[in-house]
């Protein structure tokens, strides 16, 4: 029977590109640095990759009849074989421990014998038998956007993915947030018994996966772990769902009914803002602030130049504004991301309430930054005129009174209770600071232990030296 398994180099190269986003090349276990190759009695081929938490499977379209095969092939060897290669690559299993890898340069065959890791070291792959549900292209694009807004902070693990939220029976949502900006898309119908959080794996950022049609999403509980599966005709991706309860995002979402300002960008205006934001001064500052000065006449982007302490504004044509004028400061990267996603409508309550960026059923909610004051303009010198002083003697009192009113207003504004989202951010920052302090103290403790161990070794060495000296003295005869 035919022992040879043949794969086109171009096809295998694409497969290995996807696998490289899962396989950990620095893993201490050789099996986890390998591709699992299987052939069934009917000739169906399967190639697998894993990092224990996720499994990716590729199913070639063509079957290749032959004896059953189940071996692990090192990823590095396969990657080296497809580099610059053309035509086909042949894999000839000789046993569970050995495989012949044959490549071709022109008409010359190059053969390499590979020593294979044991298949027994491969982790158990979950089988998801539950019936899934078909999703459309809208879900796929929204999933990428939600994952792009998720957190990478390991201390906030529940936010390290996108939530398929079915808590509202009337409308299911796809959510992603890092605590500073929140993405949501609705009008879905997930056939799920309960909400799940899909982790932001590198494989889910691979463009080729989104070129696959007919995605079917399924979940299954195995012990204490919930597994999520994305199935297409050529690919299967299974990953552990993030355990825990996703935060109640509705508690921090602002109300559209209370909004006072509405801004609509046309495509040219969006393109201009996206082009401007990375180029304006202040892009290296903390939180990367950008101020939006919104008036019925339009929108201006304002930035402070720290070197010259000057404030510059850039008008944006092609913007329609309705409602109250307002000035609000945002993180420019979040604003740029929203506009790149096509979220062309800004809904603003005031400069202390998160902004809604919206287009249809997709939204991004961005927390505002502390407003930056413009630099004070020098006041022109006023020459004193005795006659003016005599004609207008009470001028000092009204000015003092006005300053008092302004001061009291500022004080009242400062004492206003912050929004729920701002309180959440402050709490998160407080927790992060506490964790950093704990980690620093643990580091100091570890350094003290190392120092104590070093002193102990030095002491033992001195004792050994003294003992050796005593033994040598005992041998001295008088």
Q: Mean per-residue pLDDT for 297-307?
A: 88
Per-residue pLDDT tens digits for 331-341: 999 999 999 99
- What pLDDT, on a 0 to 100 scale, did the predictor assign at position 117? 95
What is the CATH topology of the domain spanning 5-121?
DNA Polymerase III; Chain A, domain 2 (3.10.150)
- What pLDDT, on a 0 to 100 scale, did the predictor assign at position 124? 93
Helix axes 332-340, 267-276, angle to 10 degrees: 140
Q: Mean per-residue pLDDT for 241-266?
A: 94
Q: How far apart are CA 103 and CA 113, in angstroms?
A: 12
- What pLDDT, on a 0 to 100 scale, did the predictor assign at position 131? 87
Q: Please say if the pLDDT value at position 107 is more than 90.
A: no
Considering the segment(s) 133-250 as one domain, its CATH architecture is: Roll (3.10)
Q: pLDDT confidence of 291, banded at 50, 70, 90?
A: very high
Q: Which residue has better confidence, 177 or 421?
A: 177
- What pLDDT, on a 0 to 100 scale, did the predictor assign at position 386? 39
Q: pLDDT confidence of 309, banded at 50, 70, 90?
A: confident
Q: How far apart are CA 336 and CA 146, in angstroms?
A: 15
Which homologous superfamily is 254-366 in? DNA Polymerase III, subunit A, domain 2 (3.10.150.10)
Q: Please say if the pLDDT value at position 432 is more than 90.
A: no
- What pLDDT, on a 0 to 100 scale, did the predictor assign at position 421? 59
- What pLDDT, on a 0 to 100 scale, did the predictor assign at position 1? 56
CA-closest candidate to residue 237, choices 331, 104, 345, 132: 132
The mean pLDDT of the chain is 85
- What pLDDT, on a 0 to 100 scale, did the predictor assign at position 449? 77
pTM of the model: 0.75
- What pLDDT, on a 0 to 100 scale, did the predictor assign at position 376? 45
| Percentage of the residues of the chain whose pLDDT score is greater than 70 | 82
Q: How far apart are CA 315 and CA 300, in angstroms?
A: 4
The three-class DSSP label of residue 418 is coil
Exposed, middle or buried by CB within 10 Å (0-12, 13-18, 19+), for 357? Answer: buried
Per-residue pLDDT tens digits for 30-68: 999 999 999 998 999 999 999 999 999 999 988 999 999
What's the angle, vertex CA 173, arms to CA 182 and CA 213, rounded to 5? 105
Q: Mean per-residue pLDDT for 270-289?
A: 92
Per-residue pLDDT tens digits for 339-355: 999 999 999 999 999 99
- What pLDDT, on a 0 to 100 scale, did the predictor assign at position 413? 37
* All CATH 3.10.150.10 domain ranges in the chain, comma separated: 5-121, 133-250, 254-366
- What pLDDT, on a 0 to 100 scale, did the predictor assign at position 465? 73
- What pLDDT, on a 0 to 100 scale, did the predictor assign at position 263? 97
């Amino acid at each position: 029977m035919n022992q040879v398994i043949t794969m086109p180099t171009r096809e295998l190269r694409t497969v290995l590109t996807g696998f490289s986003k899962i396989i950990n090349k620095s893993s201490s276990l050789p099996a986890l640095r390998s591709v699992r190759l299987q052939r069934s009695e009917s000739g169906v081929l399967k190639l697998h990759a894993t990092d224990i938490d996720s499994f990716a499977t590729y199913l070639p379209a063509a079957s290749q009849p032959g004896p059953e095969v189940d071996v692990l092939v090192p990823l590095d060897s396969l990657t080296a074989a497809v580099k610059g290669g053309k035509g086909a690559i042949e894999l000839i299993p000789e046993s569970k421990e050995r495989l012949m890898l044959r490549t071709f340069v022109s008409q010359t065959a190059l053969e390499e014998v590979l020593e294979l890791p044991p298949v027994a070291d491969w982790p158990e792959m979950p089988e998801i038998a539950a019936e899934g549900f078909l999703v459309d292209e809208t879900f796929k694009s929204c999933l990428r956007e939600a994952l792009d807004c998720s957190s990478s902070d390991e201390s906030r693990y529940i936010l390290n993915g996108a939530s398929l939220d079915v808590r509202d029976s009337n409308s299911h949502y796809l959510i992603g947030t890092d605590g500073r900006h929140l993405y949501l898309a609705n009008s879905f119908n997930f056939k799920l018994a309960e909400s799940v959080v899909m982790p932001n794996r590198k494989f889910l950022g691979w463009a080729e996966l989104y070129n696959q049609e007919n995605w079917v999403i399924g979940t299954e509980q195995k012990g204490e772990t919930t597994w999520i599966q994305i199935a297409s005709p050529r690919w299967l991706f299974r990953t552990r769902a993030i355990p825990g309860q996703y935060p109640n995002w509705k508690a921090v979402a602002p109300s559209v009914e209370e909004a006072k300002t509405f801004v609509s960008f046309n495509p040219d205006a969006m393109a201009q803002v996206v082009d401007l934001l990375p180029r304006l001064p202040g892009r290296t500052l903390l939180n990367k602030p950008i101020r939006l000065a919104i008036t019925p006449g339009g929108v201006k982007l304002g930035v402070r130049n720290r070197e010259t302490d000057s404030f510059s504004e850039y008008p944006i044509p092609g913007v329609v504004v309705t409602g109250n004028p307002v000035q609000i400061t945002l993180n420019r990267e979040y604003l740029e991301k929203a506009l790149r996603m096509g979220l062309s409508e800004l809904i603003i309550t005031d400069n202390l309430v998160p902004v809604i960026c919206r287009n249809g059923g997709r939204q991004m909610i961005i927390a505002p930054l502390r407003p930056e004051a413009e630099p004070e303009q020098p006041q022109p010198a006023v020459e004193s005129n005795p006659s003016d002083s005599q004609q207008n003697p009470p001028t000092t009192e009204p000015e003092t009174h006005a300053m008092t009113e302004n001061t009291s207003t500022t004080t009242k504004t400062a004492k206003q209770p912050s929004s729920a989202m701002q309180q959440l951010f402050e709490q998160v920052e407080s927790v992060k600071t506490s964790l950093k302090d704990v980690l620093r103290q643990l580091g100091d403790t570890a350094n003290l232990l190392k120092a104590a161990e070093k002193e102990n070794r030095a002491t033992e060495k001195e004792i050994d030296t003294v003992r050796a000296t005593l033994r040598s003295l005992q041998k001295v005869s008088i």
